[in-house]
Structure 1
Amino acid sequence: MSQLEDVADQDGWRCWVCDEPVDRDISVNDPRGASVDSRSVGSRSGKKAARDFAGAERLAHRGCNTKKGAVTPVIPWPADLVLMDPAPLLTVAERLDRKGGREVVVRCVDRADAKQVADWLVDRFSRLAPGLPVDASVDPGGGQFVVALTVARRR
C-alpha cells in the first residue's frame, strides 16, 4: 500500500483543511485529488502542538494543500452556522493543546444556534485534531451565548 493510501485511510479519506471527502478515484494531479500534507499545522517546527495533535502527515485535497503552501491555513467555518466573532480554529487547537484550560471560540445570538455550533466544533475537532479530544459548553453572557471548548478527559 502506498504512503498516500495509508494516510488517507488514517484520515478517513477526508481533507483535514476543508473537511470535505477526498475521492480516491480522482487523479492526484486534479485539485480535488488526494495529496499528503506533511506540514499540517504550519511552519513552527519543533512546537509541541505541531507534533502532537496534527501528526506528521495528513490527507488534503491537492488544491487545499497547494493553496495553503507552507503557511498555517485558515480552517473554514460552515456558511450555514449563525455565529459572531469566530476564533481561528487552528489557533484554538494549538492553545488548548499547549495550555489546556478553556478557550472561548465563538458567540451566537440564541441558544439553539450555539448548541448547533458546539456540536459542530466537537465533531470537527475529532478530525482536525484527532489527538486532542474536546468538550464544548454553551454559556449565556451579555445577551448572547458563548461557545467554549475544553480538553476532554482522556479515557
Structure 2
Amino acid sequence: MSTLQEVGDRDGWRCWLCDEPVDPDMSVNDPRGPSVDAVTSAKPKKGAAVPERLAHRACNTRKGAVKAVVPWSPDLFVLDPAPIVETVERLSRKGGREVVARCPSRDDAERAGDWLVDRLSRFAPDLPVRTEIKPGGGQHLLVLTTA
C-alpha cells in the first residue's frame, strides 16, 4: 500500500474523480482534503495489487464502494455521452474504437474531443487515445480510438 504522498505525487495532486486540484496541505478530515481511493472496478486476482488513485475526501466518500462515475464537463455540448470509466475499461482490454458522443456542430465535437483526450491523459495515462469526428445525419459523432 502506497503513502498519500506517493499517490499524490504520481497523480499530480489532482482528484481522479472530479479532475480538480487536491491541496496536499489540507486536513485529510476536510471534505476537500486528500484521500487515497483503492480503485476496485473488478475483483483483483489473488496477490495482485489494487490500484490506488488520489481523490478528495468528499469525492471518495460520495463514490463509496460502487463503480465510479467520471462526469463529462458541463461546458461541453454533447448528446448521449458514453460513460467514461466503462469506455476506458473496454478500450484498455480490447483496443479499437468507440463512438462516445454526438455533437450538433463540428466545433462542439472538436472541443469535446480535445477535452476528452486531455482528461484521459490524467485519468488513464497508460491508454494512448485519439479522437475522430464523423459527420452524418446533421450531427457529428465523436469517436475515441486507441492509438
Structure 2-normalised TM-score? 0.92
Report the CA distance between 1:130 and its aligned residue: 1.1
Aligned equivalents of 1:133, 1:32: Cα separation in 2: 30
2:43 is the alignment partner of 1:45:
yes
Q: Does 1:6 align with 2:9?
A: no
Q: Name the residue aligned to 2:138.
A: 143
Say which SS state the counterpart of residue 76 (structure 2) adopts.
Answer: coil
Give TM-score, length-normalised by structure 1.
0.88
Structure 1 unaligned blocks of 5 or more: none
Alignment of 1:99 onto 2:94: yes
Report the counterpart of residue 132 of structure 1 in structure 2: 127
> Which residue does the alignment assign to 1:17?
17
Runs of 4 or more, structure 1, over 6 Å off, are none
Residue 56 of structure 2 is matched in structure 1 by 61
| Amino acid across the alignment from 1:120 | W
**CA-to-partner distance for each residue in 1:82-113, whole Å, 9 max, x for gaps?**
11000100010011011111011000000000
Aligned to 1:71: 66
Q: Identify unmatched segments of 5+ residues in structure 2.
A: none
Shift of 1:45: 1.3
RMSD: 1.7
Task: Report how many residues are paired.
Answer: 144
SS across alignment from 1:105: strand
| Aligned position for 1:30 | 30
Q: Deviations over 1:24-51 (max 9, x none)?
A: 1210001100001112x52x1138xxx8
In 1, the alpha carbon distance for the partners of 2:83 and 2:58 equals 21
Cα separation, 1, equivalents of 2:123 and 2:137: 30
CA distance in 2, matches of 1:113, 1:22: 29
**Code of the aligned partner of 1:127:** R
* Cα distance in 2 for residues equivalent to 1:4 and 1:75: 21
Return the alpha-carbon distance in structure 1 between the equivalents of residues 31 and 71 of structure 2: 18
Q: Secondary structure at the match of 1:28?
A: coil
Q: 1:83 aligns with which of 78, 84, 90?
A: 78
Aligned-partner Cα distance in 2 for 1:31–1:76: 19
